[in-house]
Amino acid sequence: MSDAYHVPVLLPASVAALQIMPDGIYADATFGGGGHSRAILAQLGEQGRLFGFDQDSDAQANAPQDPRFRLIAHNFSHIKQYLRLYGIKQLDGIIADLGVSSHQFDTPERGFSIRYDQQPLDMRMNQQDDNAPTAADILNTYNEAQLVSIFQEYGELPASKRLAHAIVNARRGGKLRNVGDLKHLAAQLCRKRSKGEYLAQLFQALRIAVNAEMDALKKLLGT
Ligand SMILES: C[S@@+](CC[C@H](N)C(=O)[O-])C[C@H]1O[C@@H](n2cnc3c(N)ncnc32)[C@H](O)[C@@H]1O
């Protein structure tokens, strides 16, 4: 695995907080490039075990070949059920490094980044899930009130109502398809100076909605 996939922040502090026991059983709920997992494995003894979860199939290429490690390519909201399949009823610690990886941001066709224009408004972490809405699905089908609530709750976005109204108006003339379509609309509602910040908040809000990130976290915390 190269550092290009993702360089985790606060790596030593977050792994230290797990207070790893060499024979313990741990889960890395957001495996990604495997930075946290490798640091945990370095502290585990021969009997220790680590289960990694990631719903993005791209992460599978980073799985270490280590008999103590197992990558489960699914959403962590079902962690309890998957761990049961391996006879695990209790963990000694779990780490979740929430959000998206640098790899996801840096892959233009995933649609997560405001740096590109022609790419589709996708933003799904799990591209195998054909039932999950893309960002374009949300922008083209949700009603104005639903859009406002996403922008306010997940992005604390100024002018949320005006943006939702502009989106609903614009899509009467044709669907929003590409990152550039959304950027063009949103740019009209913010000051030039704060455009980057505004777009980042907007894309964060949409990404959280597309991936139902709050629901997944609630399920994980309730497990
Ligand atoms: C910030 S990155 C984690 C990076 C990782 N700690 C590392 O060291 O490379 C978040 C990762 O978690 C995954 N992810 C986010 N939410 C998830 C969920 N609900 N279930 C499974 N994977 C999830 C994303 O696909 C992404 O690869």
pLDDT > 90 fraction of the chain, expressed in percent and rounded: 92
pLDDT(1) > 60: no
Atom of ligand 1 nearest to the CA of 37: 8
Calculate the alpha carbon distances from 64 to 1, 19, 31, 70 in Å: 9, 22, 11, 9
Average pLDDT along the chain: 96
Atom of ligand 1 nearest to the CA of 213: 19
Residues whose beta carbon lies within 6 Å of some atom of ligand 1: 6, 8, 30, 32-36, 53-56, 59, 75-77, 97, 99-101, 125, 216
Measured at the CA of 58, the angle between CA 56 and CA 62, to 5 degrees, comes to: 115
For residue 125, how far is its CA from the centre of ligand 1 (angstroms)? 9
Nearest-Å Rg of the Cα atoms of the chain is 19
- Give pLDDT, residue 2: 52
For residue 53, how far is its CA from the centre of ligand 1 (angstroms)? 8
Residue of the CA atom closest to atom 27 of ligand 1 = 32
Give the least confident one: 1-5, 32-36, 152-156, 180-184.
1-5
pLDDT(169) > 90: yes
- Among 1, 26, 30, the mutation site with the greatest number of ligand 1 atoms within 8 A of its Cβ is 30
Per-residue pLDDT reduced to its tens digit, 6-45: 999 899 999 999 999 999 999 999 999 999 999 999 999 9
Amino acid 74 reads: H
- Give pLDDT, residue 166: 96
Which domains, ranges and CATH numbers included, belong to the chain?
11-102 (3.40.50.150), 107-217 (1.10.150.170)
pLDDT(193) > 90: no
Coil, helix or strand at residue 177: coil
pLDDT > 70 fraction of the chain, expressed in percent and rounded: 99
For residue 98, how far is its CA from the centre of ligand 1 (angstroms)? 6
Per-residue pLDDT reduced to its tens digit, 62-108: 999 999 999 999 999 999 999 999 999 999 999 999 999 999 999 99
- Give pLDDT, residue 204: 98
Q: What pTM did the predictor assign?
A: 0.95
For residue 43, how far is its CA from the centre of ligand 1 (angstroms)? 21
- Give pLDDT, residue 41: 98
Neighbouring residues of 149: CB distance < 8 A, sequence distance ≥ 6:
none
